[in-house]
Amino acid sequence: MTADGATLDGARVLVTGASRGYGAAVARALAARGAHLLLTATDTAHLARVAGQCRDEGCACDLLALDLSSARSVDAAAAEAARAVPRLEGVVLNAGVLGPMGPLDRADPDAIGRAIDVDLTGQVRLLQRISPLIADRAGVVLVTSGAAGRAGYGAYALGKAGLEALGLMLREEWAPRGIRVVAINPGPVRTDMRAEAHPEEDPATVPPPAERVAPVIAVLAGDDPGPRVQASEWGLS
């Protein structure tokens, strides 16, 4: 299946970290294909702007404030999602923070813990809370990174490695329900986080996020390419 021909008319999809960057690009692509969106972010001002763009495509769009570092916020957002829709046909866990980079033995352990709360622990809690909403045969996308487990990338590398492990576990545990759990690595894309991690890089040398959303759309539309996908290789023979 290709993303170009995919339609998601009425499919209810929750996207975290949708206020900017890759999450915003995914949200706009889903809106163009008719999805009913539940968009979350900590920064609801930026989120409202993205929601407006999605509604311009004619789609329904609900906004949920979500701070993944706060258990109370995660629980409240999950409860609000349950009030907004009876079930979810798709979930895209995109939210994340960079946290301290550099050698782990030189990083502030408390700062590492705060980043892991967002990049992994909060994601686990959110999936636990919304699992009753996730429909059989739904698509669940975990946005990962080439930095997963990579030396020098500190807390972010730890969190993304854990997220990939989470994906493998849930893929097996939810297989009886036909739920497709896929970790998708967008690769280098032009985002604020990329600029923070690589200040020496010319942003014009990396593609915009919209060029790397195709595998997300395909998974949510029913494709199952396997447990992990490199978006930069999607569609190549």
Tell me the CB-side half-sphere exposure of residue 173, using CA atoms within 13 A.
Answer: 10
Contact 156, 99 (CB under 8 A): yes
pLDDT of residue 236: 60
Rounded Cα distance between 64 and 126, Å, is 13
Give the DSSP letter of residue 149. Answer: T
Give the DSSP letter of residue 188. Answer: S
Which pair of structure tokens corresponds to residue 93?
A: 């866990």
pLDDT of residue 179: 98
pTM, full prediction: 0.92
User: What does the pLDDT profile of the chain (237 residues) look like in tens digits?
Assistant: 444 556 799 999 999 999 999 999 999 999 999 999 999 999 888 899 999 999 999 999 999 999 999 999 999 999 999 999 999 999 999 999 988 989 999 999 999 999 999 999 999 999 999 999 999 999 999 999 998 999 999 999 999 999 999 999 999 999 999 999 999 999 887 767 777 777 787 777 778 889 999 999 999 999 999 999 999 899 764
In the chain, domain spans: 12-232
Contact 115, 155 (CB under 8 A): yes
Rounded Cα distance between 180 and 190, Å, is 28
Q: Which helix (H) or strand (E) holds 185?
A: strand 180-185
**Packed helices 154-173 and 109-116: angle between N→C axes, nearest 10 degrees:** 30
Which pair of structure tokens corresponds to residue 210?
A: 């919209």
The H-assigned helical ranges of the chain are: 21-32, 44-55, 71-84, 109-116, 122-130, 154-173, 192-197, 214-220
Rounded Cα distance between 187 and 190, Å, is 10
pLDDT of residue 53: 95
Contact 15, 23 (CB under 8 A): yes
pLDDT of residue 205: 78
Contact 69, 117 (CB under 8 A): yes
Rounded Cα distance between 17 and 38, Å, is 11
Question: Which residues have CB under 8 Å from 2's CB, separation 6+?
Answer: 214, 218, 235
Candidate list 22, 156, 174, 234, residue with the active-site label: 156
| 153 a catalytic residue | no
Which pair of structure tokens corresponds to residue 153?
A: 């990338």
Domain 12-232 fold is Rossmann fold (3.40.50)
